[in-house]
Every structure is written in C-alpha cells, then in structure tokens.
Amino acid sequence: MSQASLVFACRPIAEGKAEGTVLISKDEIMFYLCDPATGRITEKGHCLEGRSVAGKILVFPGGKGSSSVQVDGLYQLLSRGNAPKAMIIERPDTILVTSAIIMEIPLVDRVEPGFYEAVADGDLACVDADKGKITLVKS
C-alpha cells in the first residue's frame, strides 16, 4: 500500500486478509443471482447488474434471500474462483457471516466513520480482518 493510503478501523467477523479493487453496491446482494462462471450479477434492476464480484473487495449493505440460496450462490462462486476476495458489509446476517467463515472469505463490518464517504469504485483496498483494519488507496 502507498503512503497516500487511508486506514479505517473495523470489526472483524470472518478472519483473513485480502487486497483488491473495490466494487460498491448500494443494493443488497443475493449471491444466488450471480453467474458462477463469471461472477456477474444477473438480478434484473440491481445497481450492479452485469458487473462481476469476482476477485473484488465487495462493499455492500447486506444480503437478501433465503439461507439455502445465499449459501449455495456464494459456494458456487467460490468453487469456480469467482467469489469476492473480501466483503465489507453494513448489516451482517447470520447466513453471510456463517458462509464467510466456512468459505474463508474475510468479512468485516462496523467500519469507522468516514469510510463510506471516502471509498469509491475502483479504489484499491486491503481488508485485514485479523487486525480489524481496512487500508484504502484512492484511484
């Protein structure tokens, strides 16, 4: 990370560390409505419709859908190498928390104030859920 980076404290949920490009969703995400072969969101009318979550640091408000479709959707993405590298969530739910832990996808929430104003699509971010911090490099 560069010296021009911003660091934000967060609450670790699923441990691990990942670095990648930020993808922001203002809409909740149902991972079952992602194409496992590409990671592209297929949900009609979703703010990220047609964009891929594969290998991204995904910033989103929360999940939606039943437990079985959410777990299966994320598992299908992961098994094809198209899951997000890490997830920053505003409103975690039991299903996404459990899935992230089992699938070893770093997951954090309760990011300190200012993060959501500072972050933008395309920024580089390092999510360190082991240390409870997010390092953000503006694009």
Contacting residues for 16 by C-beta, under 8 A, at least 6 apart: 86, 104, 105, 106, 129, 130
66 is catalytic: yes
Which residue of the set 2, 5, 52, 66 is catalytic? 66
Q: How many residues does the chain have?
A: 139
Asked if residues 59 and 90 have their Cβ atoms less than 8 Å apart, the reply is no
Q: Show which residues are catalytic.
A: 66
